[in-house]
Amino acid sequence: MKVYLRNTLTGLFYGGPEQWTTESTRALEFPAPDTALDIVSNSKLPSMEVVIHFEDAQFNLPLTIVGLGK
C-alpha cells in the first residue's frame, strides 16, 4: 500500500512544496494517511484527496479531504 496526495481539480499528485506531477510514481509517498493530512493542513492545500494506492489498481481508494487546507 502506498499513500499519495492528489489535487482534485487538476489531477496532479503532490511531489513536495511547489512540486506537482502527473505520475503517482514520481509523487511524494507518505507513510500513512494521517501524515498526508498533516501536510494538507500545515500547507493549507485546497481541493486535495488522499489516494491509497494498492498493487492492483482496481482497489485504489481516493478519499476526498473536507474541511482542511482552507
Within 10 Å of residue 62's Cβ, how many Cβ atoms? 12
**Single-letter amino acid code for the residue at 45:** L
Does a structural domain hold residue 69? Answer: no
Residue 67 is predicted with a pLDDT of 72
pLDDT over 70 (residue 40): yes
Measure the CA–CA gap between 56 and 41, rounded to whole angstroms. Answer: 29
Parent domain of 12 = 2-64
pLDDT over 80 (residue 54): yes
Domain count within the chain: 1
Please give the model's pTM, rounded to 2 decimal places: 0.89
Does a structural domain hold residue 70? Answer: no
**If pLDDT is split at 50, 70 and 90, which confidence band does 25 have?**
very high
Does a structural domain hold residue 20? Answer: yes
pLDDT over 70 (residue 28): yes
